[in-house]
Structure 1
Amino acid sequence: MSVVYSTVKTIFNIGFILTYIGISVYVFVYGSTSDYNNITLKQVFILSRHGVRTPLAKDLDQMTPKKWPDWNKKPGYLTEKGILLEGYMGKYFSELLNKENLLPDYCPKEEEIFIYANVKQRTIESAKAFVNKAFSGCNITIHQKDHNGIDPVFNVAIHNSSLSFQKLALEQMYEQLRPLNLNKSFEDMSHILDYKLSQLCLIDNECNLITDLNKIIDVQVGFKPNIKGPLKICNSAIDAFIMENYEGFPFNNVAWGQMTESKWQDIINLSRKYHNVIFNTTLIAKDLSLPLLNYFRNIFLNDNSTKVTLLMGHDANIYTLINSMSFKPYFLPEQYELAPVSGKIVFQKWFDEVKKKDLLKISYVYQSTKQLRSGIELSLWNPPQFVTLELHNCKIDDKGYCLWDDFVKFLHTL
């Protein structure tokens, strides 16, 4: 078994299989391409989530009578810790790509690398952090497409304006919403927030996270679909807890010191359910990801000289792309999130010198919760986490590779 790329050709080649809720997942700690000495890395395409940011929700104070920790930046802004951690990722990828002889150990040529970021502060600054450490002292352009504060490639807004689409999309989303079975998770969140003393309870008379109504909203062209109700409230609070933890706040300031490992596992199910309802119905995912999917498809199908392409976006981009491209279910060990900050889906195009065939390998490269919280610097000897991903339409071998031609055939069906 191998990791995304070769780290050190002669060191460990360790792999193990985890089974999580019935899903077998290959996890690679260290790796070697020694079993495939005849293959060469040709191109790498990366879709990344931005780094650690301040919480997004502006109504957190209404959810609890407790005082939230202070942040020194606006909601949704990349933090100094986020810059540091994304820089670690950039430096690591630079070392790795140099090790595979894809990029030189000096400044790459302009045509060899393409960096493209969404227009949000957190994505632009994340791209800068990656580039500044990966290619220190080099003049690397970070491309943007600003259409009045919106980039249509990254914007997860609905494109289909038909009433039939809206009706079917709502049906599929409510179908996801109905079987919640998350009473224990809601109870934990109610206790952590002291929810019955919150403004939402005392003023709006919304006091029971288990029985209050979840309503799907904004399923119309130009809007990002959303939920109003307990699931949205919990997801917003959990987002704040997660960012507090990543930022390295003292444990008594992360969810007011009430988090245990079992509680993390309980409450994260609320966040996963929220994202499943919003992004993971096939109809919605394909519509929301259409511009990004077309962008990636054009990159994959058009032969070009760019060796490394990095797109810096959001978890919504990752969720919708994974669903619309029919990835098999996956699990990220040592992480609570399925699309953690600074995590990257890495598409690698390899060439088999003996068989004269191009191969594809897809990996999720991410930092564990501990690596993020502790601010652990990455290196070839202390790498991030790797999980091999698989498409339903491109069967992989026992080392995680599938035929590039099969991938291309699949892309033509999208």
Structure 2
Amino acid sequence: MYFKLILISVLVLKGQCEKSFKLQQVLILSRHNVRTPLSKNLPEFTPKTWPTWKEKSGSLTAKGALLEGFMGEYFALWLKKHGLLNEDCPSEDNFFVYANTAQRTMASAEAFVTKGFPSCNVTIHNSSDSHDPIFNPVIHNTSAIFKLEAAEQMRVLLKSLHLNSSYEDLEQILNYKQSEYCLKKQKCDFVTDTNKIFVDVGFKPNVEGPLKISKSVIDSFIMENYEGFPDKEVAWGLLKNNDQWNSVLDLSKGYHSVIFNTTLIAKDIARPLISFMRDILLNKQYKITLLMGHDANIYTVLKSLDFKPFNLKHQHEMTPAGGKIVFQKWFEEKSDVTFMKVDYVYQCTNEMREGKRLSLDCPPEFTSMQLEGCKTDDNGFCLWEDFVGILNSLVED
């Protein structure tokens, strides 16, 4: 079958892609857009004053709604350009929107459809359960052996991280040794204080200790920057260049990697969502699907499907706010073969900070993604049947 991939590459290189390729189906797995910080304990970790937010903790901000609206406007244009939308308002049968029940995910979905499809009355579906089992990133496997093996995978990954210099940089930014947390609990050294791993059924995997504190603090820095706070207020003006940002962001990436990027945990957490995605892609008639979730959903789906390592240009985060994994089913008429193409679509950090509007002439970034189990050509196409095999193996395993 690989000769068909070679044929596709030749067709694309000859400029025949627009004539011979037809986009048949798109599933967009999205993270909500810019929100306020989640942690309410931030004042404990520094004697400094944090910026003031208008919205409640964990809520989509007005800036986040603006940026997600820009994404909605862009995707409406992109879908029409590729012929998947032929009318101003998509029908319920063609366009399915499903959002997690959290305020930031519901509000993000609303911003996307309101700006992308104004006056169209697009229904945003959600679960009647406040903890939607499709998106809820909790452990499902009740086996004692699973718990032991999963915790061990997390420990191995945690030990492999080299974060001492990043810890030291963050301590200086926070003036951590003068913090309430340090003075009251006598836990004053990120490098030597203990990280404890937790794997419990019905709960999100967790790491308690300096790594989680660091993640919570850096999350606020990231959202402050997206929101457009003055430079002197984003990390108190102490993250002035990419090297400084990358140093502290290694802590956030390390935390998310430990809790979500081990094979056992990722597959266990993502199984309900991947099963839901498979049903939509294989059994439903929707041409377009938008699933609005969280970074946990992005991390665990990427790990479960075994995507190859990737780099998002001009972005600090691995799973940017408002970023989207776009699964595209393409039919190549000349070879009579169906393909899957996957792109990570997102806005650059600076564009988000500046509130830059999107259009076909000023698009978001597209990063082509490759699956280990689905041979991909130079243009990002892999065989649809191979992709379906990956989905089936994860759901039926």
Q: How does the TM-score come out when normalised to structure 2?
A: 0.94
1:87 to 69, 74, 78: 69
Partner of 1:150: 131
1:33, CA displacement in angstroms?
Answer: 6.8
Mapping of residues 110-121 of structure 1, within 5 Å: 110-121=92-103
Task: Supply the distance in 2 between the matched residues of 1:33 and 1:97 (Cα, whole angstroms).
Answer: 20
Structure 1 position 306 matched with structure 2 position 286 = yes
> Does the 8 Å contact 2:280/2:286 carry over to 1?
no
Task: Supply the distance in 2 between the matched residues of 1:346 and 1:166 (Cα, whole angstroms).
Answer: 32
SS at match of 2:290: strand
1:32, CA displacement in angstroms?
Answer: 11
Task: Supply the distance in 2 between the matched residues of 1:285 and 1:325 (Cα, whole angstroms).
Answer: 9
Partner of 1:72: 54
Paired residues, what number? 381
Name the CA shift for 1:332/1:32 in 2 (closer, same or farther; >3 Å).
farther
Name the CA shift for 1:59/1:33 in 2 (closer, same or farther; >3 Å).
farther
User: CA deviation digits over 1:104-150, x for unaligned, max 9?
Assistant: 24111110100000000000000000000110010100000021x11
Structure 1 position 223 matched with structure 2 position 196 = no
User: CA deviation digits over 1:220-275, x for unaligned, max 9?
Assistant: 11000111111001000000000000000000000011112211010111011101
Partner of 2:8: none
Task: Supply the distance in 2 between the matched residues of 1:321 and 1:67 (Cα, whole angstroms).
Answer: 37
Task: Supply the distance in 2 between the matched residues of 1:76 and 1:146 (Cα, whole angstroms).
Answer: 20
1:295, CA displacement in angstroms?
Answer: 0.7
Task: Supply the distance in 2 between the matched residues of 1:125 and 1:300 (Cα, whole angstroms).
Answer: 25
Q: Give, as a single letter, the amino acid of the residue that structure 1 aligns with 2:383.
A: L
Task: Supply the distance in 1 between the matched residues of 2:21 and 2:157 (Cα, whole angstroms).
Answer: 43
Partner of 1:169: 150
Q: Give, as a single letter, the amino acid of the residue that structure 1 aligns with 2:246.
A: Q
Mapping of residues 317-336 of structure 1, within 5 Å: 317-336=297-316
Q: Give, as a single letter, the amino acid of the residue that structure 2 aligns with 1:319.
A: Y
Q: Where do 4+ consecutive residues of structure 1 move more than 4 Å?
A: 31-34
Partner of 1:196: 177
Structure 1 position 47 matched with structure 2 position 5 = no
> Does the 8 Å contact 2:274/2:391 carry over to 1?
no
SS at match of 1:251: coil
1:337, CA displacement in angstroms?
Answer: 0.5
More off after superposition, 204-213 vs 290-299? 290-299
2:338 to 347, 358, 361: 358
Task: Supply the distance in 2 between the matched residues of 1:360 and 1:33 (Cα, whole angstroms).
Answer: 19
Q: Give, as a single letter, the amino acid of the residue that structure 1 aligns with 2:230.
A: P
Structure 1 position 290 matched with structure 2 position 271 = yes
Partner of 2:356: 376
SS at match of 2:232: helix
Q: Give, as a single letter, the amino acid of the residue that structure 2 aligns with 1:413.
A: S
Structure 1 position 278 matched with structure 2 position 256 = no
In structure 2, runs of 5+ residues without a counterpart are 1-12
Partner of 2:9: none
Task: Supply the distance in 2 between the matched residues of 1:269 and 1:123 (Cα, whole angstroms).
Answer: 26
Q: Give, as a single letter, the amino acid of the residue that structure 2 aligns with 1:342.
A: G
Name the CA shift for 1:75/1:305 in 2 (closer, same or farther; >3 Å).
same
Partner of 2:85: 103
1:297, CA displacement in angstroms?
Answer: 1.5
Task: Supply the distance in 2 between the matched residues of 1:290 and 1:74 (Cα, whole angstroms).
Answer: 31
Partner of 2:218: 238
Task: Supply the distance in 1 between the matched residues of 2:325 and 2:16 (Cα, whole angstroms).
Answer: 23
SS at match of 2:353: helix
SS at match of 1:364: strand
Partner of 1:412: 392
Same amino acid, percent of matched pairs: 54
SS at match of 2:160: coil
> Does the 8 Å contact 2:34/2:61 carry over to 1?
yes
Task: Supply the distance in 1 between the matched residues of 2:345 and 2:201 (Cα, whole angstroms).
Answer: 33
1:47, CA displacement in angstroms?
Answer: 0.2
1:405, CA displacement in angstroms?
Answer: 1.4
SS at match of 1:237: helix
Task: Supply the distance in 1 between the matched residues of 2:87 and 2:322 (Cα, whole angstroms).
Answer: 23
SS at match of 1:340: coil
Task: Supply the distance in 2 between the matched residues of 1:222 and 1:239 (Cα, whole angstroms).
Answer: 24
SS at match of 2:93: helix
Task: Supply the distance in 2 between the matched residues of 1:184 and 1:238 (Cα, whole angstroms).
Answer: 15
Partner of 1:390: 370
1:253 to 209, 213, 233: 233
Task: Supply the distance in 2 between the matched residues of 1:129 and 1:53 (Cα, whole angstroms).
Answer: 13
More off after superposition, 97-106 vs 328-337? 97-106
In structure 1, runs of 5+ residues without a counterpart are 1-30
Task: Supply the distance in 2 between the matched residues of 1:133 and 1:195 (Cα, whole angstroms).
Answer: 43
Q: Give, as a single letter, the amino acid of the residue that structure 2 aligns with 1:107.
A: C
Name the CA shift for 1:307/1:191 in 2 (closer, same or farther; >3 Å).
same
> Does the 8 Å contact 2:108/2:292 carry over to 1?
yes
User: CA deviation digits over 1:296-318, x for unaligned, max 9?
Assistant: 1212222x321100000000000
